Each structure stands twice: as structure tokens, then as C-alpha cells.
Structure 1
Amino acid sequence: MDKLSFGEKTFNAINIAFMIVLCFLTLYPFLYVAFSSLSDPGLLAKHRGLIWWPYGFSLNAYKAVFANPNILKGYGNTIFYVVFGTLLNLIMTSLGAYFLSRRNVFFKNTVMFMIVITMFFQGGLIPTYLLVSNLGLVDTVWAMIIPGAINTWNLIIMRTSFQAVPISLEESAKIDGASDWTVMWRVIIPLSIPVMAVMVLFYAVGHWNAWFGAMIYLRDRNLYPLQLILREILITNSTDSMTTNAGVDKMPIGETIKYATIMVATLPILVLYPFMQKYFVKGVMIGALKE
């Protein structure tokens, strides 16, 4: 290998230093919340400035969080929305992408044009609410799943990925008597696992973080997702019931309860990322290639 010049060494050193700083700036807010949630409430209330480790060690905030029945109910609701919502997303997006990726389909370009328009022009909140209301979905779990069954951008990515599958494989399958359903589920989908994994990640994260739709369409608190419960705790400062259930003083544990709630709501979806990361870049790049 050729020796690096002084300029190349300097450039690499600057890049490495910049990436280290960038990683620190990205990671520290999460560490701040984690350390704060594990800190003793009294010591944390007296501290000012950055936090590099937990001040004292206390799990009272987490005990208060898990003692709140709304948190556990919100967890169950969110898991339901994520599992069934993502499953419906994958099925509907795959069906649409398969149709739009096939050759010699009548009005394919017209349908694709109408779909792409929705990325730039939408009906707005009031027409969408009226539609959901007239369909009888308000205050039901389906209001969190059906209206967003297909994301236009994800549909385009999956369609492009399906187009990259060689037409000869489809023709061979049809010569053997395979129908379009068989071609899709036994030929196209197995060859598009990286893109499917990316779609799972995109849709699952979207459902996990969803709160606005729940705030608009849901009235029954038993249907609230975890993120809406988290919003109430952070914005309306509603930690009184949690401190009462945990049998601890309201002050100053209220702040640590907020940090603990953020950690409880964030960690599960972060655990999903390492398992999907190996598919992420490959899947996006395949879906981004133009035929």
C-alpha cells in the first residue's frame, strides 16, 4: 500500500475527529435521559449542567412508571398497533407494488401518477377526519391502522425493487403454471427480503411513534397508544397519579419519572434496529435504483 501523504493524514484525522464529535452530540441526549432516570431525585434536583453518570442510584422512577396502569395499557395497545398495522402495511404495499411493477398493465402509469400526486397534495385534516368518521372508524383500533395502510414513498421503493427482479423468473414460473399470486408470494417476495425488512422498520417505527392520529380519532383512554400517554406526562405534567401509586413523594421525583417514561417508550424500538441494520442500506439502495 502506498504511504499516505501529510495532507491525506491530516484530512483523515479531521474526519475522524469530526465523526467522534458528531457521534457524541447524537448519543449524549439519550445518555442524559438515561442517567437522569437512574439518578436519585433529590440529588438530580440540586444538579445543574451536564450529567455524565447517575447521581446516586434509584429505581423509584421506574417503579412509579410501571405502577401506572396507563403505561402498561398503552404498551399493550402500541404493540397491537405495531404488529397488526405493520402486517397490513406490508400486505397492502406489496399488492400495490406488484401491480405497478408488472409490464403491460393497463393504466399503470395513470394510476402511478395519481398515487404520486398524494405526496404533494392532500385533502387535509378535516376531510380526512370526516372520511374516517363516516367509515365508522372513530374511537376504534382500526382508526390507527387502516387510514395509513399504504405510504406512497414506501410503495415507490418497493415497486422499484420488484421491477429489478428479472422478468425471466416470472416467465419461467408462469410456464410452469404459476398464477400472479404464486409469482408474487413465491418468487418476487422471497427475492425482495432486504426491501421487506426496510419496510418493516419504516412502518413499525411509524406505528410505534404515532400519537397525532390517536389524539384526533380516539376518545377512549383504553385505546390510547404509549406515545399519547407519554405526551400527556411530558406536556401536561401529569405525574401525580404515578407518584401516588408508587407511594413516593411528588417532588422532586416528578422529573425523574418523565425521564424514565421516555426511556421505557424508546428502548423497545431501539432494540429492533440492530436486527434490521444489515438489511437497511441494501434494501434502500435496491429500491432506489431506476430500471
Structure 2
Amino acid sequence: MFYKSWSERLFSWVNGTFLIGIACVMLFPFLYLFAISFSSYKEYITNDFMLWPKDWVTDAYAYVLGSNEFMRSIYFTIAITLIGTAANLAVTSAMGYSLSRPVLFRKGVLFLVLFSLLFPAGLIPTYLVVKETGLINSIWALIIPVLVNPFNLIVMRQFFVNIPHEVIESAVVDGANDLKIFSNIVIPLSKPALAAFGLFYAVIHWNSYFPGLLYINNPDKWPVQVVLRQLIVVSDPDTLSVRQDLVNLPPPETVQMAALLLATVPILVLYPFLQKHFAKGVMLGAVKG
């Protein structure tokens, strides 16, 4: 049986206490949002601080869920996240695999990738490119400009470099071409990396705020983060239109908190399903080789 010295036990105790404290600090804002969103107006104005509602009221959630604007933005953001993440993974994995092979102009392309990582394009050139290609007010304006993340591409390439060459060579001997090797051998071996980078890309698309504000002029195509901006930063109650005969008008603050929680929960749900592959996928391309 493994024996821990007193210093190791002390370190484990201090480390565990510190991590629990950090978790509590991170959980505090969610408890506050949760309490306010379910509180009545009387409880809200009489309490400066609360972490748990006394009188459970769901008017704010009924108001938000009954809003066509908010639900439309949620569906639109889900579509952006699904399509964008699939496109990101497809292009990043295909480009990473091709750059891991001895192909023509590989060093030149790698130089351009590193150059774009160190010197990203500015706001005005990017906007002009999006405008001249006719992507304004299109869902593709939120996907194509961020199609490949240079850092993710470099790590993905390194992951493919670490795949044993014997596996690839045996497939070549059996007559498989590059496309078949990539789809039948490389992709199944890359599930941890794809899960990790898929989560990265999904979070980027779900939390994308400025591109939607910059490229989307039609309110019907606003992603959920832009709608939240109208609700919270601009404090515009007319952002959400709800039939007043169907739901009581809750305080604006509780509506804001309910909208924030509803917009946060979907992306948080992904973490438990991808946690098993998350750390493994990030480490594989970084520590081997």
C-alpha cells in the first residue's frame, strides 16, 4: 500500500481546500443569478444580497421563454454552433493531417499559419473582406472568418505527427489512398483530440458576440449574445416582445438573470459528456514527439 508522508498529506489537504474555494468562488455568480431569476419583485427589492429564493416565482422564465426574439436567437445560435463546429473540425483536421505529411509547399503553408498566429488580421481588413464577399447578414459571416484557429491547427498537426508511421505505411501497402487513410484510420484515432477542439470551437461560436454585432444588421438573425446585450447592457425591455395576456410582467432584473441562465446552460451541458476526452485530447499533441 502506498504510504504518503506528512508533507504530501498536507499538500493534498491544502490543494484540495484551495480548489474547493476556487470552485465556490466560481459557483457564486451562478447562485446569485439563479436566486434573482426565481425571486419575486418584493423579495428582490427588499434584499440586497441573496443566494437562494424564499418565494419561488417563475414569471421571468415564462416571460423569456414566451419571447419569439429570444427563442429565435437561441435556435439561430444552436445552428451556428453546430454548423460552425462541424466545419471547424473538418477543415482543421484535414489541413492538420495534410501538413503532417510530406506534401509540396508544406513549410510555406506552416509559415503562413504561424504568421497569422503572431500577426492576426485587423478589424477593418476583416470587415472589408466579409463585406466584399457578400457575407454581411449571413450566417456564414460568423463561421468562415473563424474557420481555422491557427493554434488549434498546430496542435492538431502535432497530434497527427505522433501517430505511428507503421500504421500509415501498412495502409499504404494495402492500397489505401490518403483520403481513405484519413477517414478510416486517422479520424478514429483522433477522437480525443477532436472532442477537445470541438468543445473549444463550440464555446467560441456560442459565446460569439462582437462578430454578430458587427456583421449582422437584421435583428431576426441576431445570435443570443447580441440579444443579451440588448437586454442587459442597453437595458432595452422592448428587445423581447411577449403577449401580456399570457404572462405577468416581471421585474426587468429578473428577466435579465433568467435570460443569462438560459443562455449559459446549453454550453455547460456539453462539458460532462466531453470531460473524459478533454484533458487527454489536449495533452496528446503537446507532450509526445
TM-score, length of structure 2 as denominator length: 0.94
**Aligned equivalents of 1:4 and 1:279: distance in 2?**
29
Question: Which residue of 251, 260, 272 maps to 1:274?
Answer: 272
Which residues of 2 match residues 104-183 of structure 1 at below 5 A?
Answer: 104-183=102-181
Q: State whether residues 38 and 56 of structure 2, in contact with CA within 8 Å, keep that contact through their aligned partners in structure 1.
A: yes
**Aligned equivalents of 2:206 and 2:52: distance in 1?**
29
Question: Which residue of 221, 225, 228 maps to 2:226?
Answer: 228
**Aligned equivalents of 2:170 and 2:188: distance in 1?**
16
Report the CA distance between 1:20 and its aligned residue: 1.9
**Aligned equivalents of 1:2 and 1:157: distance in 2?**
36
Sequence identity, in percent? 38
3-state SS of paired residue (1:165): coil
Count of matched residue pairs: 287
Q: Cα deviations across residues 247-280 of structure 1 (Å, max 9, x unaligned)? A: 4346xx1101010000000001101110000000
Report the CA distance between 1:148 and its aligned residue: 0.9
Task: Give ranges in structure 1 of 5+ residues lacking alignment.
Answer: none
**Aligned equivalents of 1:191 and 1:149: distance in 2?**
23
**Aligned equivalents of 2:91 and 2:260: distance in 1?**
32
Q: State whether residues 227 and 239 of structure 2, in contact with CA within 8 Å, keep that contact through their aligned partners in structure 1.
A: no
Aligned equivalent of 1:24: 24
Q: Cα deviations across residues 146-177 of structure 1 (Å, max 9, x unaligned)? A: 11111111111211111111111111111111
Counterpart amino acid of residue 191 in structure 1 = L
What's the C-alpha RMSD, in Å, of the aligned pairs?
1.7
Task: Give ranges in structure 2 of 5+ residues lacking alignment.
Answer: none
Q: State whether residues 44 and 55 of structure 1, in contact with CA within 8 Å, keep that contact through their aligned partners in structure 2.
A: no
Counterpart amino acid of residue 72 in structure 2 = K
Deviates more, 1:211-220 or 1:104-113: 104-113
Q: State whether residues 68 and 241 of structure 2, in contact with CA within 8 Å, keep that contact through their aligned partners in structure 1.
A: no
**Aligned equivalents of 2:116 and 2:285: distance in 1?**
20
Report the CA distance between 1:14 and its aligned residue: 2.5
Report the CA distance between 1:243 and its aligned residue: 7.7
CA 1:10/1:286 → structure 2, altered by over 3 Å: closer, same or farther?
A: closer
Counterpart amino acid of residue 15 in structure 2 = N
Aligned equivalent of 1:54: 53
Q: Cα deviations across residues 94-143 of structure 1 (Å, max 9, x unaligned)? A: 111011111x3232122111101111212201110110111111111111
3-state SS of paired residue (2:118): coil
Q: State whether residues 81 and 202 of structure 2, in contact with CA within 8 Å, keep that contact through their aligned partners in structure 1.
A: yes
TM-score, length of structure 1 as denominator length: 0.93
Q: State whether residues 171 and 181 of structure 2, in contact with CA within 8 Å, keep that contact through their aligned partners in structure 1.
A: yes
Deviates more, 1:32-41 or 1:74-83: 32-41
**Aligned equivalents of 1:244 and 1:81: distance in 2?**
25
Q: Cα deviations across residues 53-110 of structure 1 (Å, max 9, x unaligned)? A: 11311000001101211101101110110111111111111111011111x3232122
Q: State whether residues 100 and 108 of structure 1, in contact with CA within 8 Å, keep that contact through their aligned partners in structure 2.
A: yes
